[in-house]
Amino acid sequence: MKANIKTPPMGWNSWDCYGASVTEAEVRSNAEYMAKNLKKYGWEYVVVDIQWFEPTADSADYHAGAELVMDEYSRLMPALNRFPSAADGKGFKPLGDHIHSLGLKFGIHILRGIPRQAVRRNTKILGTDRRAAEIADIGSICSWNGDMCGVDMSRDGAQSYYDSIISMYADWGVDFLKVDDIARPYHKAEIEAIAKAIEKTGREIALSLSPGEAPVGEAEHLAKHANMWRMTDDFWDGWEQLRKMFDHCREWFPYVKEGGWPDCDMLPLGRIGIRSHGGDRMTRFTRDEQKLLMSLWCIFRSPLMFGGDMTYNDEFTLSLMQNEELIKINRESHAGREVYRRGDEIVWAANGNCGVYYLAQFNVGEKELRACTDIAFLGTENPAEAFEIWSGKKANIENNTIVSDISPHGVNLYKIKTL
């Protein structure tokens, strides 16, 4: 049985700011910031992204043939020059313990498969007499990172390998596992093997699958075995990618349900690119675009994984993360759906609790537009109250229609309470 994750996961991931090179000190500082400023709003996962096992990692680039830290059982271990608390075989347990002591949850990224380094050395697999070369699918190698090759799940010892690494992660206190190079192309047998290994640990570990686009045709299989899965390739701070996200959300919204969350990808907000793609910068999204992004992610109910180094957050960035009405939409609404498109006007709605509804009017064009949305679908002609969440202003309702002017690349997001 997969982890029972009732609301979309919310947290921080190191990729957007530190690429493959994050250090323990940087993880700890972001965790401490989250505990102090964001935990009470629902932010809880702290996730170490790719290459934590590579001592030479220094950017978002991968070093072909780099020596990886690995134990005698073909299992990758944290690089001590970057994660010194992992010394003496402790792995990520000390870091996980520290994050747990803050009242937060700990996550790591892994690549599908077994290290090619282990295959070359034909190292042992814990729990079986088989060795790395005997279970490897050497024809199945990630196109963008050559450290790993697939595991042939038809071979004896294959499940034992996945059991061995996931059991170790559970012992470290891992609460969130992001598995990459598994959703595109879609590796069904290895997805099932990882889900099975998680179940054997008895630990509640959220399973996230990357990269996108995950196939819509596998929506049922995804929901059965994973907690979240990517709908897109890596998402960065460019308007065209953000505009395209409306198409992905329209395709996937029928499949959003408790415990199974199609994922719009990380939030490239705040200070990003420190040692990652595009160079050190504050996000290139305008403030209007950031509000639009957060509104879409929340009304669609995507996981919210912040990508910037939170310790550099300015007041505006922090306000996005602490907006209680916005977070309530993400955590408590249901039936989020696209209502209509009219040129550059895109309207979404979602149902809340106790007679509450949410309405988002988006402008994806280059000119200001006036949106006029008939709210008869709410089932009442007399809303008790309605206000725009970002501004706090009372809604303009004429003949049961919400009328508003929306800036280019902007949004008006309404909370409507019915009688």
Q: Please write the tens of the pLDDT for every residue from 290-344.
A: 999 999 999 999 999 999 999 999 999 999 999 999 999 999 999 999 999 999 9
Please state the pTM of the whole predicted model: 0.97
How far apart are the C-alpha atoms of 292 and 178, rounded to whole Å? 26
Per-residue pLDDT tens over the stretch 402-418 = 999 999 999 999 999 98
Q: Mention every residue, 6+ apart, whose C-beta is less than 8 A from residue 176.
A: 9, 11, 45, 47, 105, 106, 107, 108, 205, 206, 208
Please, are residues 43 and 306 in contact by the beta-carbon 8 Å criterion? yes
Residue 376 has pLDDT above 90, yes or no: no
Residue 382 has pLDDT above 80, yes or no: no
Per-residue pLDDT tens over the stretch 200-212 = 999 999 999 999 9
Per-residue pLDDT tens over the stretch 243-274 = 999 999 999 999 999 999 999 999 999 999 99
Residue 125 has what pLDDT? 98
Q: What is the mean pLDDT of residues 235-248?
A: 98
Sequential DSSP letters for 258-308: TTBEEE---B--SEE-SSSTT-SEE-SS-HHHHHHHHHHHHHHT--EEE-S
Band of residue 419 on the pLDDT scale cut at 50, 70, 90: confident
Please, are residues 268 and 387 in contact by the beta-carbon 8 Å criterion? no
DSSP 218: G
Other residues' Cβ atoms within 10 Å of the Cβ of residue 378? 17
